[in-house]
């Protein structure tokens, strides 16, 4: 068995493997592979010309402070049906993490098909992707006086990227790579239509719309709306479709500003996805994470990591002036907090409370230590719009 990047000659085998795993039509699977590019897939080759397992690999950034932290994202994790239960999946996930560590990524993220599987490898629940649904009749039509202009995505990409960057500072938000712009249009015959919202000739926001999966529905596939005016104009643009649609859906925050732009309580949470995070290099991750400026203190942590043994052991976390440092302690001794690397991964983003982690035995410590951790890691709720 060999772990390596997918080769151009293996595209058909890769598509078959992904199609078997996710039951997607071959035409759509081929568009996904073409958009991601074969060289961005990692495979376990069986040595007989076949592929035993595969996953797509993305170089992303996640916002946990002023600068996004580098994050290796994974998607389409697939194991051939006849190879399941043979250790191939473990080989794939272990090698992916080792590669991410060697490439200098402090974090790894994915959307899990199975919580229990990925927890075994150190990932844990770390943030939300909330899909909101609003009846078309409830959309306000007033707007904010911004001009609306239909654009081609590729031609307008510099403006779209600028606006996306302006919105991507929320806790947990994703900094896209080129792949995430390409995969917006993988569904055949249902392209995303982009609209710039302009104030005095300058782009102030955008929407990317496509037909929804349900009849007479519209889905906001992509958006960047950094101001109240842009959000009001976006709702008015959606309201302009009311004669042709019954509902609009979009992915956003748990406390989404567009929901609060409605006159009444008409929005419903139609789907709630949770993504997972894994600390790949804890020292680099904690150094890049922002902490509340008033938070001050320290904890001794025992990280247990049997996949990346360089993380395993005793560490000292110190937080002051909005920054954190994590330093290894050479000598063995008592720890304030003890747990698997996944427990600390969930703590890192703030998605899982200290109470939840302790109540499920993913973190262990005294009452005082748990209270200190809760105070040090207080932060906004992490979320992202993208799915990968």
Angle separating helix axes 26-36 and 11-22, nearest 10 degrees: 120
Cβ within 8 Å of residue 380, ≥6 positions away = 170, 171, 350
Asked if residue 236 has pLDDT above 80, the reply is yes
Phi, psi of 216 (to 5 degrees): 55, 45
236-253: average pLDDT: 96
pLDDT in tens, 312-331: 999 999 999 999 999 999 88
Mean pLDDT for the chain overall: 95
Asked if residue 272 has pLDDT above 90, the reply is yes
77-84: average pLDDT: 95
- Name the band, by pLDDT with cuts 50, 70 and 90, for residue 305: very high
Asked if residue 350 has pLDDT above 90, the reply is yes
pLDDT in tens, 206-231: 999 999 999 999 999 999 999 999 99
Cβ within 8 Å of residue 262, ≥6 positions away = 134, 138, 139, 140, 235
User: How high is the pLDDT of residue 168?
Assistant: 82
**Distance from C-alpha of 324 to C-alpha of 105, rounded to nearest angstrom:** 18
Domains delineated in the chain: 2-110 (3.40.630.30), 131-273 (3.40.630.30), 281-376 (3.30.1050.10)
Nearest to 132, CA basis, from 220, 234, 197, 263: 220
Helix (H) or strand (E) holding 372: helix 367-376
271-288: average pLDDT: 98
**Distance from C-alpha of 175 to C-alpha of 144, rounded to nearest angstrom:** 28
Q: Residues 306, 308, 309, CA angle at the centre, nearest 5°?
A: 65
Burial of 17 (0-12, 13-18, 19+ CB in 10 A): buried
Q: Decide: 152 and 365 in contact? Cβ < 8 Å.
A: no
User: How high is the pLDDT of residue 66?
Assistant: 79
Out of 92-101, 179-188, 260-269, pick the least confident.
179-188
Phi, psi of 240 (to 5 degrees): -65, -10
30-47: average pLDDT: 94
**The whole model's pTM is what?**
0.94
**Distance from C-alpha of 288 to C-alpha of 324, rounded to nearest angstrom:** 8
Distance of CA 44 to the CA centre of its chain: 24
Percent of the chain with pLDDT over 90: 89
Q: Decide: 105 and 71 in contact? Cβ < 8 Å.
A: yes
Asked if residue 49 has pLDDT above 90, the reply is no
């Amino acid at each position: 068995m060999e772990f390596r990047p997918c080769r151009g000659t293996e595209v058909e085998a890769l598509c078959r493997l992904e199609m078997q795993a996710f039951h997607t039509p071959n035409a759509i699977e081929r568009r996904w592979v073409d958009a991601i590019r074969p060289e961005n897939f990692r495979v376990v080759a069986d040595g007989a010309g076949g592929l035993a397992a595969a996953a797509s690999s993305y170089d992303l950034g996640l916002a946990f402070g002023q600068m996004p932290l580098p994050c290796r994202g994974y998607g389409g994790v697939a194991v051939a049906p006849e190879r399941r239960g043979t250790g191939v999946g473990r080989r794939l996930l272990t090698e992916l993490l080792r590669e991410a560590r060697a490439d200098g990524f402090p974090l790894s993220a994915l959307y899990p098909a199975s919580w229990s599987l990925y927890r075994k490898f150190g990932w844990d629940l770390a943030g939300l992707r909330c899909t909101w649904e609003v009846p078309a009749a409830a959309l306000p039509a007033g707007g904010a006086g911004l001009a609306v202009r239909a654009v081609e995505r590729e031609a307008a990409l510099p403006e779209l990227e600028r606006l996306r960057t302006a919105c991507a500072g929320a806790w947990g938000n994703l900094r896209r790579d080129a792949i995430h712009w390409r995969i917006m249009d993988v569904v055949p015959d249902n392209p995303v239509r982009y609209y710039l919202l302009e104030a005095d000739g300058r782009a102030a926001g955008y929407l990317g719309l496509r037909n929804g999966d349900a009849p007479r529905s519209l889905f906001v596939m992509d958006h960047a709306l950094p101001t109240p005016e842009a959000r009001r104009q976006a709702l008015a643009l959606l309201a302009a479709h009311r004669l042709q649609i019954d509902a609009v859906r979009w992915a956003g925050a748990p406390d989404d500003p567009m929901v609060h732009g409605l006159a009444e309580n008409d929005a419903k949470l139609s789907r709630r996805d949770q993504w997972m995070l894994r600390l790949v290099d804890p020292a680099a991750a904690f150094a890049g994470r922002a902490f509340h400026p008033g938070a001050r203190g320290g904890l001794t942590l025992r990280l247990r990591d049997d996949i990346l043994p360089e993380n395993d052991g005793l560490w000292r976390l110190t937080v002051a002036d909005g920054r954190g440092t994590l330093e290894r302690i050479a000598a063995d001794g008592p720890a304030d907090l003890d747990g698997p690397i996944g427990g600390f991964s969930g703590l890192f983003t703030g998605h899982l409370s200290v109470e939840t982690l302790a109540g499920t035995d993913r973190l262990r410590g005294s009452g005082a230590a748990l209270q200190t951790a809760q105070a040090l890691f207080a932060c906004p709720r992490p979320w992202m719009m993208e799915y990968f």
